[in-house]
Chains A and B, each alone.
Chain A
Amino acid sequence: MAVPLISTAVIGHEFGPYDVTIPAERAIAYAKAVGGDESPDYGDSLAPIMVVAAALTELIEDLGLFSGGLQTVHAGQEVSWARPVKIGEKVDAIGRLAANSVRRGNHFATVSVSYKDSTGSEIGTSSTTIIVSGEES
């Protein structure tokens, strides 16, 4: 089994940029997943958490956390958002490993992400903390 990146990546390691543009069909799937009678009307905009989730999926793959035998727990999440994002609007996400330590055989990692629009302006940030167990050492 290949060694997952989380085992070797050092603090400051950069991920991406990922294109996390959300097309209409994924916005429809999101509405099906979370929607209800009291749901807000987003119009032609997205729930920002969708963009964060799309970046998180890319990060998990790059960190090698879909590797067999690993068990990953999403422990914490921070999000800040500066403006609405339109469906189909180009958004790029760049991640940076902010922390990566091993305690009692478990990896504790935090990845910070910056989201930028097509002009390069930052429109949001996030920080994800994960705990990974089951890694061979």
Chain B
Amino acid sequence: MTTNNSHRKVGDALTGFERQITQDRVDAYAEASGDHNPIHLNEEYASTTQFGTRIAHGMLSLALVTEMLASEFPNSWHDGGKLKVRFSAPVFPGEIVTTYGDITAINEEDGQLIVTCTIGCKKPDGTDAVAGRATVPLE
């Protein structure tokens, strides 16, 4: 885990990771979030929707992105971090997604260095499930 961010520079990539979104993970996320919408949990219901099958919560994919940010910036992501994302495509149970991030700017604001990153989570075909931007104070 990185704890000293003084070496950060524009162009650096964040350390992403892969995660298989199993139905067990989706079920656990429903318990964690309280979101028991049948489109995530009930195959019979989900087969009648535009997706034709169950989909993972979009917030589950975003949670993976924030895991990456928390690992990269353990002392500051939860203490001044911001993000803005769009959900571009559904993730289906069984798919392996990959988080990613790149530092695009480091600016000083009120005496504090702020890192700006592109962030996201890609589906197996390379399309974005989630994509956007985060800013994090440098500790």
Q: CA of A85 to CA of B78 in the docked complex: distance in angstroms? A: 8
Among B17, B31, B49: residue with most chain A CB under 10 A: B31
- Per DSSP, chain A at the interface is mixed
Tell me the complex Cα distance, A52–B85, Å: 14
| B86 interface contact, C-beta 8 A | yes
| Interface size class, chain A | 35 or more
Do A81 and B79 touch (CB < 8 A)? Answer: yes
Given contacts A36-B67, A40-B74, could you give 19 more A-B pairs where the C-beta distance is less than 8 Å?
A25-B31, A26-B31, A29-B29, A30-B28, A32-B25, A33-B31, A42-B70, A47-B66, A57-B33, A60-B35, A77-B59, A77-B84, A78-B82, A79-B82, A80-B81, A80-B82, A80-B83, A82-B79, A82-B80
- Seen from chain A, the residues whose Cβ lies within 8 Å of a Cβ on chain B are 25-27, 29-30, 32-34, 36, 38-42, 45, 47-50, 52-54, 56-58, 60, 66, 71, 73-85
